[in-house]
Amino acid sequence: MATSYLPYHPDQAHLLPLSAADWLPEGHLAYFIADTVESLDLSAFHARYAKGGPRNQPFHPAMMVKVLLYGYATGVFSSRKLAKRLHDDVAFRVLAAGNFPAHRTLSDFRALHLAELSALFVQVVKLARECGLVKLGTIAVDGTKVKANASRHKAMSYGRMVQSEAELKQQIAALLERARAMDAAEANEVEQDLPAEIARREQRLAAIEAAKTRLEAQQREADMARGRHEGDERKPRHPDGTPKRCKPFKRDFGVPEDSTQTSFTDPQSRIMKQSNGGFEHSYNAQTAVDAERQIIVAAELTDCAADSGQLPAMVESMERTLDAVPHRVLADAGYRSEAALEALAEKPCEVIVALGREGREQARIDAEKYPHTAKMAESLKSEKSQAAYRRRKAIVEAPNGWIKSVLGFRQFSLRGIEKVRAEWKLVCLAMNLRRMAAWA
């Protein structure tokens, strides 16, 4: 007896029009993102097209925002991959509703509306609070290093810059002399296009000089933060200007170490140590996560590898977003800073910052020199503070892990700190939508 199968006729044409609602199961993430975007204020997107005229009809901003957000929420960040998914993926086709913007259109839309997309992060956090998913009871703050869109092969150390600068100046001088000699001899056979060779080397020299100037400016800023000043003759000094009895500085004021690097592709990125022990051109991405449903309530980004000093900025970011401060803020020892604790002393919230590794005996703190740190050390001795701090890891490190391991976001697509900061908020916005959909 022949086996009986369910009907299968791949060439059968549909007799009635299909509904997009039949293509995806009820409760799908794409539907949640579509409904959420429809509830948001997109007037800033529409304002850019208000005077576009009938000859240039752009794609609808709501559709573009839905496609971008769903792409970031499902780990599709490349504009080329997004354009391909619009043809291959049912969820993307439902959101696009018969539209197929090219990858360049998607890329340009994202680049043009970075500020507007960042503002949507605030709207979604407020929406999550209205839905009861954000309580602002306990907030945990943490930072994670995300690779910059910078090539390793297009970076140079300060020592190599100094050497290359001298070599290029010699080559340019030699080529100019050769050009003058050829003009004088009226040579007919020219082996090289000398003007092009000179222009190429001058362009390279200008790029190296600009990078060298950036490194020197960064080093001057770092030296001034350490109490150094121009013309200090490498001698460490007290705040009153008197010299200290210790070894002199190894370098002049504002002169970087020979090994200090900068990138030509993303000059604003910095070399930072990764969790695997390696070093990459990166940015330090900061997140503040609410303990209730692990919604990211603040997302900031800096080009400084150290977390110390970032805590007041994160609390201010939460206050700007939600017009309120949380009841308690938790942070690990990387945020330990007397200046940061002093800045937060007047805030109406409890701040718990670890002063070292848990379980290790801490060195004695000078209460006169570091009063706020000493006060924190006393507070951490209580069982209540210790129990509250133990929750920090489970609250904040999970979302950072989801962003990197579940979404697969380990490197920025854009370059420049302002663009990268906006993309980080876009990633956190997409992550929040996934969390909200799970609790809807």
In this prediction, residue 207 carries a pLDDT of: 73
- Judged against a pLDDT cut of 70, whether residue 402 lies above it is answered with yes
- Judged against a pLDDT cut of 60, whether residue 128 lies above it is answered with yes
| Of residues 259, 8, 285, the one with CA closest to residue 158 | 259
Q: What is the pLDDT of residues 263-281, one digit of tens each?
A: 778 888 888 888 877 888 8
pTM of this structure? 0.84
The mean per-residue pLDDT over the stretch 312-324 comes to 92
DSSP letter string over 39-92? Answer: HS--HHHHHTTTT--TTS-PPPHHHHHHHHHHHHHTT---HHHHHHHHHH-HHH
Strands 328-331 and 138-147 turn out to be parallel
Q: Tell me phi and psi for residue 335, to 5 degrees.
A: -95, 5
- Domain borders along the chain are 20-112, 135-150+268-431, 155-263
How many other C-beta atoms can be found within 10 angstroms of the C-beta atom of residue 348? 8
Under 8 Å between Cβ of 178 and 368: no
How many other C-beta atoms can be found within 10 angstroms of the C-beta atom of residue 4? 5
DSSP H helical segments within 154-243, as ranges? Answer: 158-185, 194-225
- Judged against a pLDDT cut of 80, whether residue 161 lies above it is answered with no
| Of residues 236, 256, 255, the one with CA closest to residue 247 | 236
The mean per-residue pLDDT over the stretch 113-132 comes to 94
Please identify, in words, the CATH class of the domain defined by 135-150+268-431. alpha beta
**Exposure class string for 383-416: b at 16+ Cβ within 10 A, else e:** eebeebbeebeebbbebbeebeeebebeebbbbe
Q: List the Cα angle 99/424/391 in 5-degree steps.
A: 125
What span, in angstroms and rounded, lies between the C-alpha atoms of 81 and 92?
11
- Judged against a pLDDT cut of 60, whether residue 359 lies above it is answered with no
Q: What is the pLDDT of residues 226-238, one digit of tens each?
A: 677 777 777 777 7
In this prediction, residue 76 carries a pLDDT of: 95
What span, in angstroms and rounded, lies between the C-alpha atoms of 235 and 133?
56
Q: What is the pLDDT of residues 1-14, one digit of tens each?
A: 677 767 767 777 77
In this prediction, residue 193 carries a pLDDT of: 61
Tell me the percentage of the chain whose pLDDT exceeds 90.
Answer: 46
Q: List the Cα angle 244/247/249 in 5-degree steps.
A: 95
How confident is the prediction for the chain on average, in pLDDT?
85
- Judged against a pLDDT cut of 80, whether residue 293 lies above it is answered with yes
| Of residues 421, 437, 436, the one with CA closest to residue 117 | 421
